[in-house]
Amino acid sequence: MTEKEFKQTEENLKRSGPVPQHVAVIMDGNGRWARKRNLPRVAGHRAGIKSVREVVKGCGALGVDYLTLYTFSTENWSRPKTEVGALMRFLRGTLRRERDELDRNNVRLSAIGRIKDLPGPVRDELARSIEYLSGNTGLNLILALSYSGRTELLDAVRRVAREVEAGELRPGSITESTLRLRLYRGDVPDPDLLIRTSGELRISNFLLWQMAYSELYVTDVLWPDFRRSHLYEAIGEFQRRERRFGGISAKKGPR
């Protein structure tokens, strides 16, 4: 698609229905993409950076408020040390290289997960990038790093338990909001749309609390091949769905 065609598609989507406020993406298929080309797995991650740029640009153009990318899970630490080391070096370099591009696109940056488990140089580069982009007012880009949905819930429950033990919180006063506000980013609305690439039909321990009513969109496209046009297809599909949140359909069907 040309830039003119992208602009027209964006205008059509804005008129067609609500644009998701929060999009989450499981960026799957980097390894398979590389394997098909007889390349090392990290080559798939490098190729996937273009996809990240495309999705960031597309979400910004449509007025999406939040984009959460499943970047590195806690389970990924179990991969071979050489691969993990290469991924950490790649992550550090990518943060440094992409900062100016994100700034030009008015993007803010934050991260969720057990950030303390990342190597010191990666943590430092992440902190520099977050600070560098903190004055922007556009898309909120959230990187899930050393992240696990179960770990997030465990950390939130432990925080609640400490507050109860300290007498700061009464057990009888605990509500859903109590736990939600103790998640890594309790201030962020739940994802309206989850996109998973590479055709796998699972959510892989991602945003377990937040995904309660997210619309799921799965594509066979491998992440390094995912482009703005694929994002717009996913959002078009989202707009055609009726979100009932457990209620009754507002559409009148046959009796």
Strands 215-218 and 66-73: unpaired
Give the residue numbers annotated as catalytic, written as ranges: 28, 76
User: Which distant-in-sequence residues (6+ apart) come within 8 Å of 73 by Cβ?
Assistant: 144, 146, 147, 148, 204, 205, 206
- For residue 19, give Cα distances in angstroms to 23, 94, 242: 10, 29, 13
The β-bridge partners of 72 are 145
CA angle, residues 79, 50, 149, in degrees to nearest 5: 45
C-alpha span between 160 and 170 (Å, rounded) = 10
Closest CA to 45 of 69, 61, 28, 60: 28
229 and 7 Cβ atoms separated by less than 8 Å = no
Chain position carrying tokens 């408020």? 65
Which residues fall within 8 angstroms of residue 161, CB to CB, at 6 or more apart?
none
